[in-house]
Structure 1
Amino acid sequence: MEGTIDGFRYGAVTPAAAFVMACLGGALGLRCIVRTLLNPASFKPGWLALGAASIGCGIWTMHFIAMIGFQVAQTRVGYHVGLTVLSLAVAVVVVGVGVFIVGYRGAGRAALSLAGAVTGLGVAAMHYLGMAAMQLNGVVSYAPFTVALSVVIAVAAATAALWAAVTTRGFLTSLGASLVMGLAVSGMHYTAMAAVSVHVHDTTASWTGDTATSLLLPMLIGPVIFLLLAGVVVMFDPLLVLGDGEWNRPARSARTGAPSQPAERPATVRSWSRE
């Protein structure tokens, strides 16, 4: 028999929380990439790795927070631990490939297309690997057209996010890009979930797996703590707080011997002396 699927068991709570986590991961990742562009002398691999981990954890956390609200009325839903952890690793590693490509190659058409395709396909792979981790008394099937549409959305969202990462500098523009990224990633997730149908087996069979909340909530603690710690690192980094001009002004003055005061002041003093 066909299962009755509900993707919004807790109403707007899980979609809203998932969107917030996707935006947080995107915002942190974008700021880390911007950090390497503002100061080329910084430890670029470390900042790019932190950005990739932030975006990957944000996407993975978004997915499984949204999945807490997923249920099939005729059977309980659980998750395989190994596949769930593997989906997190896939998200971080594949996003990292895209981030490192644009971090070192820039936003050229070829580099951006390659990075966006790799990252988008990785995000889609993370999603469907996470779906493969589901354990229920039935068989999950997908509508091919909707699956293809979700992959296209993932690639487009990843390409747009990576383009924004290497072309935006200001805090407000990065914030806006992260909101768009969160919306796109959430849209990809719920588009992919619209492709799902479940054929339920014997509804009298006993359940032996963990429930979604008992397994997912403890697993989400680690990535959420990582995102919070990454947020602290980004918030207290002087370059990202002060901006490029304020950070570089003392260094430029020291190299050139030029005073840090505006150039008009000496002219004003000379005009007084003539009077």
Structure 2
Amino acid sequence: MLNRVAVLSDIHGVLPALEAVLAEPDVRDADLIVLTGDIACGPQPVQVLDLLVGLGDRAAWIRGNADRELVEYRRGLRTSIPDPIGPSAAERLRDDQVDLLEALPTSLTRQVRGLGEVLFCHATPRDDEEVVLVDSGLERWGEVLGEVDEAVSTVVCGHTHMPYTRLAAGRLVVNPGSVGMPYGRPGAHWALLGPGVQLRSTLFDVEAAAARISHDSTFEQAAEWADYCLNARATEEAAFKIFAPHDGRDEPRA
């Protein structure tokens, strides 16, 4: 039984944001750090993976859709990646890092004090890029969680970069938000589990981080990417409009 678990999702290769979160006392003291996918697709993929590997058994990893796409690109299974920064990230990875991402599981479960059996995944338990939102209907949630073991009382997912907690299909659902590509407000977002759920946000020097990314990255538009992503210029309204059709509806609910 784990007393405290820090959940870091959607780091997207942003080293300064990751460093800021790992420096948090509650993250340093956590029994386990769970990485719920989309770890490396971003401007500093090599450095981010090396830092996380250095955590050893303190970290448990899950592969996200963006990580899968990096592997597929390097393996010659695809010629493009939806995220424009993807090819640059894929090309920078060392062979051992591609092997690491390829071998990651798509979900895992752990017992957490106060929350029972917790299932961690990237998007949903059954698919690494399926979309569910905080305002998705109960019927939709019932469908998405329909095959989850009855023993699971809490489901932790990422993918949509917007933090929330809600009750759905008889389970507590937690999305920690994104460490490296926040939507709606700046900051590196993460969650602390046990015995309850805390949605946390770590502030860091965005201007200095953007300058560092521009210097480190081989992506030609790294400066623009860093300015847009680290300042959370993607609003929650825009994100909902993009995601809502993938949730089986045309417009977000109010």
TM-score by length of structure 2 reads 0.27
TM-score by length of structure 1 reads 0.25
State the structure with bigger RCO (CA 8 A, min sep 6), 1 or 2.
1
